Structure 1
Amino acid sequence: MFRIAIAALLGAVSLTACAQQSAPVAAATATAAAASPADAAVEKRVRDALKELDPNFKPEYIGAAPFAGFREVIVSGQVLYVTDDGRFLMQSQPYDIEKRAMATSTGLLQYRRGLLATLPHADRIVFAPPNAKYTISVFTDIECGYCRKLHQDIAELNRNGIAVEYLAFPRMGLGSKDYTDMISVWCADDRKAALTAAKGGAAVPSRTCTNPVAMQYNLGQQLGINGTPAIFAADGSQLGGYLPPAQLKAALERIEGAAGSR
C-alpha cells in the first residue's frame, strides 16, 4: 500500500494511528480542476513524481496548497504536500500562525464537505439544541477516554449553541468487539440513550440491524482520521481531538469570522 511505501521510503512513522482495517477503503477520486495549462503541468509533475514512489499511486485529490510552491495531495485519506517541481514531499500539515489553525486550502475543505455530505443525517446520533448556531460532525468511539470526556460536555456544548452529530469510528477496526458494540448502539431503539450508557461504561446489550457503522468508519479512513474524537466543522475544517467547550466555541467563531471576511 502507498502509505507503507511512504513510511519505508522516508524512514518515518506510519501516516496513521488508526486501527488496521479489514478491507481497503474505496477512494473518492476528486482532482482539483486545473485553472491553467501551467497548473495542469504542475499537477502532472506531481503525479509522475509520486508514481515513482508507487506505480499504483492513485490520489484522491490534488489541488493548490494554502501556501506557495506546493500541491496539496490526499492519498488513502492522508494529506501530503509536494513541491510544484515534484522533488520534495512533506507529511506534516503546516500550522497557519496568522489564523491560529492548521493550514487548509479551500479545495481540501470542499473535498471534506463532499465526503461528509454522503453520510445521511438520519444515520447520525445527534445531540442538538433548538436553533443551533454551529454544527460539528464528530467521529467517535465508545471506549476512548477523550470521547467520553467530550460526551460529558454535551449539555454545555448545546448551551453554547453547538449541535453534535456523532459518526461511528471503532478504533480497533471492523470485526472488533468495539465495532460490534457500536453496531449494537446504532441498532438500539433509543440510540442517544444507548450511546450515553456505553460512554458511561455500561455493558452494551447485543443488537443487530442494517446499520451505517462500517460505512462511517470507512469514510473516516478516507478523511485520514487517526484518533478519536475527530471533530469537523461545517465548512470541512478539522478541529482536532477533544477541546473544552469554550475552546471549541472559540474555534468555531474564528471559522465563522474568517468566512465572513472573505
Structure 2
Amino acid sequence: MQYLYTPASRLTRALRPAAVLAAVLTLSLSVHAQAQEDALRAALQKRIPQLGKIDEVRKAPMPGLYEVRVNGAEIYYTDAKGDFIINGSILESKSLRNLTEERLNKLTAVAFDKLPLADAFTIVRGNGKRKLAVFEDPNCSYCHRFERDLQKIDNVTVYLFLYPILGPDSVEKSKAIWCSRDKGQAWQDWMLRQQQPPAAASMCNTTPIARNVEFGKTYRLNGTPTLIFPDGTRIPGAMEASQIEKYLSQTNKG
C-alpha cells in the first residue's frame, strides 16, 4: 500500500485560500445581515414613530420574521420589508414553549444579588439556607393560594416584596403590613387567616412599597406572585409545593 506524503507547509499553503474565502464569505454575510437589519430599523422608525425607540432588530425564532425590540423590553415582530407588524407571542408547537416570554424574561432578568432587599422583609423557616424572593399583592387570589403551598417548604429564607398593583385597597393593606411591628407575622395573618393589621400610622415610612412598584415596572413584573430564584430564574404565577421545592433544589447550589 502506498501513502501520499505532503509536507505540512505545502498542505497549509494549499488550504489557506479556502480558509480565507470562507472567512470572507462569513464576514460578507454578517455585514449584509447587519445592513438589512439597520435598513429595517430605519424604515420602521420612519413609518411608525409611535413604536418608540427601537433598540434592536434581529432575526426571530420563526424563519422569515424579525424581532423588533423597543423601549428596552417590548417585543414586536415584522417581515423582512417591514410591511407588517405583529404584536403577540411565538409558541413552539412541539413543546408549547412561549419563545417570546422566554426572550422577555432573559431581557429583564434580575440578578438575585441586585435585588433591593432592604425594601423587602424576610420570613425564615428551618435553617433558612435556601433563598427565594417573591413579589406579591395582598389582594391577589393566586398569592393566597401560593402562600398556603409555601407553608409546606422548610429550610428557606423568603424575601417578601410587597407589590400592590391591583388597586388602592392593595396599597393600603401593603402599608399596614409594612408598618406592623412584625411584618412577616402580619403578612401571614392576612394571607392565611384573613386577619388584617391596623391601618398604617401616619409617621410610618412606606416609600419602600412605592420603590417596589417602580422596580417591578422597570423589570416588567406584570403579575403576582412573581418568584425569583438565586440563579436568576424568574417564574410568574403561583406554584405548588412540589414545584417550589424542585426549583429551590436546582437553584440554591454552591
Taking structure 1 as the reference length, the TM-score comes to: 0.62
1:53 equivalenced with 2:48 (yes/no): yes
Q: 1:110 to 1:146 in 2, by over 3 A?
A: closer
Deviation of the 1:131 alpha carbon: 5.7
Tell me how far apart the structure 2 counterparts of residues 180 and 241 of structure 1 sit (CA, whole Å). Answer: 23
**Unmatched tracts of structure 1, length 5 or more:** 1-35, 257-262
Q: CA separation in 1, counterparts of 2:99 and 2:250?
A: 12
Residue 177 to residue 83, structure 1, CA distance change in 2 (3 Å): same
Contact persistence 2:53–2:70 (CA under 8 A)? no
What are the Cα deviations for residues 125-184 of structure 1, in whole angstroms up to 9, with x where unaligned?
Answer: 333453645x4432211112111111112232x33x6653322221234xx122122122
Q: Matched residues in 2 for 1:255 and 1:49: separation?
A: 42
What is the CA–CA distance in structure 1 between the aligned matches of 2:132 and 2:230, rounded to whole Å? 6
Unaligned runs of 5+ in 2: 1-29
Report the secondary structure of 1:179's partner residue. Answer: helix
Q: Which of 1 and 2 has greater Rg? A: 2
Aligned to 2:165: 171
- How many residues of Structure 1 are paired with residues of Structure 2 in the alignment? 214
By percentage of residues, which structure has more helix?
Answer: 2
State the alpha-carbon separation in 2 of the partners of residues 47 and 123 from structure 1.
Answer: 41
Distance change (3 Å), C-alpha of 1:217 and 1:105? closer
Aligned to 1:180: 172
Q: 1:231 to 1:54 in 2, by over 3 A?
A: farther
In the TM superposition, 1:16-27 aligns within 5 A as: none
- The letter for the 2-side match of 1:204 is P
- What are the superposed Cα offsets for residues 238-258 of structure 1, whole Å, 9 maximum, x if unpaired? 4231121213444x38976xx
- Are the structure 2 counterparts of residues 194 and 114 from structure 1 closer, same or farther at C-alpha, using a change threshold of 3 Å? same
Q: Provide the alpha-carbon RMSD of the alignment.
A: 3.8
Query: Percent identity between the aligned chains?
Result: 19
Identify the structure with bigger relative contact order (alpha carbons < 8 Å, sequence gap 6+).
1
Specify whether residues 56 and 94 from structure 1 end up closer, same or farther in structure 2 by C-alpha distance, changes over 3 A only. Answer: closer
> How far does residue 113 in structure 1 lie from its aligned partner after superposition?
2.9
| CA positional deviation for 1:51 | 5.9
One of 174, 189, 200 as aligned partner of 1:197: 189
Residues 78 and 230 of structure 1: is their aligned pair in 2 closer, same or farther, counting only changes over 3 Å? farther
Q: Tell me how far apart the structure 1 counterparts of residues 133 and 68 of structure 2 sit (CA, whole Å).
A: 23
TM-score, length of structure 2 as denominator length: 0.64
